Amino acid sequence: MRSMWHIWQGALSSSVCDEIQSLPRSELNNASVGISPENTSLNQDIRRSRTSFYPYNSIEAETLNKHILPFVTLANKENFGFALNNFYELQYTEYHSTEQGFYDWHQDIIWLQPTESQRKISVSIQLSDDDQYEGGDFEFNKDLPQPSDIRSRGSVIVFPSFLYHRVTEVTKGTRKSIVAWYEGANFN
């Protein structure tokens, strides 16, 4: 049966999550928002988190892709049927309660960017145990069924990048995750 999203609860083991967290990545910085790499800014009314990235075509990115791609492939086959050509970017994100971390309603697709391909599938991997933070719930727009039981460490959710979603404010502790995007030819 087709679904707007696909969840695997606790699919990645603790040792895989530890491996992912130990991979070298860029320095953590305040996250920005924008419609293209050239048009980004810090806007703490929309997003308060810290992000770092894994260099594209690096060993680290390939290691992450090895863990993520089977979920993307299955969800795409069973639910979406998008023509995909590659992963776009891999981001490590932290939401801190001390900063009232959150990310308001947004889409991951960048409709206005004139490129030959665009984000089609988004992935979020939970790296924190659910007892390490409070708040920080991943939600879809109210018109869609809401995912449940995705707070356990190693849970993976895969969904079309055009779905509106958010992460509510973290009120205690720190929420850590990996976000990945897989792209294909522009939607027509």
Question: What would the pLDDT profile of 136-166 be if each residue is shown by its tens digit?
Answer: 999 999 888 888 888 999 999 999 999 999 9
pLDDT at position 44 is 82
Percent of the chain with pLDDT over 70: 94
- Partners of 96 in the β-ladder: 174
- Is residue 179 within 8 Å of residue 122, measured between CB atoms? yes
Who's near 81: CB < 8 A, 6+ residues apart?
A: none
pLDDT at position 1 is 54
Q: Are strands 156-160 and 33-34 parallel, antiparallel or unpaired?
A: unpaired
Greater confidence (145 vs 81) lies with: 81
163-185 burial, b if ≥16 CB within 10 A, otherwise e? eebbbbbbeebbbbbbbbbbbbe
pLDDT at position 71 is 97
For the question of whether the overall pTM of this predicted structure is more than 0.85, the answer is yes
Q: CA–CA distance from 103 to each of 19, 80, 96, 138, 161 (Å)?
A: 26, 25, 12, 9, 15
pLDDT at position 40 is 62
Kindly give the interhelix angle for 59-75 and 14-22, rounded to the nearest 10 degrees: 140
If one counts every other C-beta atom within 10 angstroms of the C-beta of residue 69, the result is: 15
d(CA 150, CA 124): 10
Question: What would the pLDDT profile of 82-126 be if each residue is shown by its tens digit?
Answer: 999 988 779 999 999 999 999 999 999 877 767 778 899 999 999
d(CA 179, CA 156): 10
Is the per-residue pLDDT at 171 higher than 70?
yes
Mean pLDDT to the nearest integer, 26-35: 81
